[in-house]
Amino acid sequence: MTGIITQGEKRLVLVSGRAHPQLAADVAQELDIELLPTTAYDFANGEIYVRFAESVRGTDAFVLQSHTSPINEWLMEQLLMVDALKRGSAKRITVVAPFFPYARQDKKHRGREPISARLVADLFRTAGADRLLSVDLHAAQTMGFFDGPVDHLWAMSILTDYVRTRVDLEAAAVVSPDAGRIRVAEQWAAKLGGVPLAFVHKTRDITRPNEAVANRVVGEVEGRTAILVDDLIDTGGTIAEAVKVVLEAGASDVIVAATHGVLSDPAARRLTESGAREVIVTDTLPISADKQFPQLTVLPIAPLLARAIREIFDDGSVTSLFDGVA
Ligand code: R5P
């Protein structure tokens, strides 16, 4: 055989932006590795500098960033890290974005709007990303915006395993806070063993972001614990309104489960006062002290991310992590 043959050992490296150091540490611990030592800081004018302290040549590099506020800075930092890996001759670069930034703007509602989720996917690709890894995209078809493999993880099992311990499923109903997420709620209902399904019929004024007007519950919730499920809670308006409507419809109790706790102000206050017994999210995003409230439970996402990273590195199967879910 012509050429030079090497042993071809692969090297996985995990690098992280500055947005959510605890999540990065947790993922590294799950993988039983150290984070790649990295320097990152801001210049006086707000520009960002990054540099890896070790060679990344030939590595299978995973670039973790949590897109919390200030989201544009953390997105830019991650793009710079991808660029630095590309120019440092990493062999393969996977963007790990547990909460995909700008995912909610995935279509034009009206003329002259951007499709921001597509732009972000293009930015990752242009910077040099070969693959994407994310959790509970706002719309699964956003995978198609990235021209390369996308591993789309589901946090549903993490949330349902916990919910089982908190609710009598014989007297529960899974409720979608809007008609658009009924498919996900259906999957929840099936996963919880055929729990009845309902949804809140909601109208939204597209000229007023973060403001929803909930109307009425379609489906049976009377005398049941309503399990309200959503992909994300931002200002808490959608969920607080949905809690109110299901309680008015006769639900005996409400718990809320969402993958991403964005929890922008005034979410903590709204959710505290909403009447929900418990609000469960994962830590795809950091939850600072001012975002916390007594009913909040935060479940770790690091084990799922680490298992997926390991499968990707080993050329194993990410789908196998979810066998029996869909
Ligand atoms: C809507 O389509 C999403 O799934 C969430 O329900 C919404 O973005 C949450 O936003 P907020 O908490 O500000 O109502």
Q: What atom in ligand 1 is closest to the CA of residue 181?
A: 4
What are 111's two structure tokens? 């003329």
- Alpha-helical (H) ranges within 165-266 are 182-191, 237-248
How many angstroms is it from 233 CA to the middle of ligand 1? 6
Pocket flag, ligand 1, residue 81 (CB < 6 Å): no
Q: Which two tokens stand for residue 20?
A: 């959510």
Whole-number Å distance between alpha carbons of 261 and 224: 25
d(CA 61, CA 100): 18
Which CA distances in Å does 30 have to 11, 24, 261, 304?
Answer: 17, 10, 22, 9
Residue 233 Cβ < 6 Å to ligand 1? yes
Q: Which residue has the tokens 């710079």?
A: 80
Instruction: Please give the pLDDT value at position 325.
Output: 53
Q: Which residues are catalytic?
A: 202
| DSSP strand pairing (212-218 vs 197-204) | antiparallel
CA dist 244 and 216 (Å) reads 10
**Which residue among 238, 243, 270, 281 has the greatest number of ligand 1 atoms within 8 angstroms of its CB, and so is best to mutate?**
238
Reading the chain (326 residues) residue by residue, the pLDDT tens digits are 788 877 778 999 999 999 999 999 999 999 999 999 999 999 999 999 999 999 999 999 999 999 999 999 999 999 999 999 999 999 999 999 999 999 999 999 999 999 999 999 999 999 999 999 999 999 999 999 999 999 999 999 999 999 999 999 999 999 999 888 899 999 999 999 999 999 999 776 777 777 666 589 999 999 999 999 999 999 999 999 999 999 999 999 999 999 999 999 999 999 999 999 999 999 999 999 999 999 999 999 999 999 999 999 999 999 888 865 54
Q: Which two tokens stand for residue 74?
A: 């953390």
Ligand 1 site, residue 137, Cβ cutoff 6 A: no
In this structure, the residue with its CA closest to atom 6 of ligand 1 is 238
